[in-house]
Structure 1
Amino acid sequence: MRNHTSIMTHWLLRVVSAMLRISIILRQEEISMEPTQPTQPAPAAPSPQPAPTSSSNGLAITALVLGIVAFCIGWTGPFGLVVAIAAIVFGIIALVKKQSKGMGITGLILGGLALITALIVTMVGVAIFGGAAQVANQVSQERQAIDETKKDFAKGEVAEFGALTVKTTTFTQPWQPTDGFSTPKDGYEFVYVSLNIKNTNSEDSDVNPFDFKLNDNGVVSDHEIATTPTPLNSVQLKAGSAIDGDLVFQVKKGATNLKLQYTTYNTDALKEVNYTLGLN
């Protein structure tokens, strides 16, 4: 990046130097084309007169300086746009008032180039910020829609977890595993949940057992590894299709108000969403 910046600076200085040389050459040609005064006899002892003042080139110099500045900062957008317009205006006025043609034209050219650059940068910036504002507005609308969507479902209801509908077909508490080696911790017991999951979306949806957790009065836990008739596995569920799967969790003995919690990430709203379904 630094090499590119050095190259751009080098060529910028070469362009500015070339413009200044053109200005000097045009000025020299302008001076050489001025008519010379015919040789006349020396006048007799003229009375002292105040020194004549040369014609001012202030507007042309201002146009040149503003043109160089605008050419250097045209990429800044609106600020470069203002300086470029000022360079063009001063350049035109300088030419109308017949000040230095070289400096006036050079300032006019540099101002014009800077004006084009500043306009492009400004339009690109407006497009980028306008697009960002539109995206932010869409995200805000999606989040509002999610906030207004029902996310907590009672026992026996068919829950709508985003693109999935989830129904509890079996809930057993306590549940005793049949593999002979799975045992709960002291003071805990296993609960068994059998689910029917359907994809109501028009596109395929991913189903991952680790997205389903057990919420025990605010304490959230992952499912246990246990042998069940139809364990829920990670699958890509086709649009409109459904699957059955089992999950096993470990809770304190006699726990009540248990809820199945499903966590997903809404990419449109850029937000994590939690749904719950009552189990007992």
Structure 2
Amino acid sequence: MENATYSPAPAPLPAPPAKPGKGLAVTALVLGIVAFALCWVPVLNNLFLFVGIAGLGFAVAALVVASKRRAPKGMPIAGLILSVLSIIGVFATQALYSAAIDSVVESIEDGSDGVVAATEEEQEEAGTQSLAIGDSAEIGEYTVTVTGVNLNANEQVLAENQFNEPPAGQYVLVDMAVVYNGAEEGDPWIDLSTEFAGSDARQYSTTTCSAVSPNPAHEVPTLTNGGAGDYSVCFDVPAEAVNDAKVLVKTSFSFKDDRVYWAAQ
């Protein structure tokens, strides 16, 4: 028997070279998706600004290669669009966050001295829905009555303590009576906030008055259901703010906006 002859197997064909344009397009698309998805995240969006810029660069390069090769351009165009949108999103969200931070800082600075500007809605509410001195209202878990308002209490406050200094404007004392209606315990000086809504469209908190006032709120004992207490709150306000002013009492910590105005005169 003759020996069989075997011809060698043909060598495998070399793998086709990778298409650089496709790799660029995939990279551009991935970077564009990541940058667009995370461009709104505070602080991190500074990093993803550069991711978006990198995605834009890869997308432009992929489009150039695709044009030369007459290859499909859908993927690089998508990467380009996403990258551009992510860059726009970074600047838009940074402007939004910056405005929000500026607004908070401005509010803190505006209220640091205990004085804030009243909104138009608050001014309208104060002018049309004010109770008279001696009237009662339900505010949170309390029945609140403003029993008296001394719009020029300089002598009374200065006489209360020898270390009390003259006011920057004039002292105002508001006398209040409260009854606790809740099921547990309440401290009105914590649960309720009293402000002086001046005729100058500004609201003054009790922090404007650093003097020791007669019958202070913190001396009212903790109240149980049906418990009653009375106290005074002090304000230091400009003299021109007392005419046609209002006393605002509201809950300090509540999801409900319980607030009631009393006419100061």
Compute the TM-score of the two structures, normalised by the length of structure 2. 0.42
- Structure possessing the higher relative contact order (Cα contacts under 8 Å, 6 or more residues apart): 2
Which of the pair has more CA radius of gyration? 1
> If the length of structure 1 is used for normalisation, what is the TM-score?
0.40
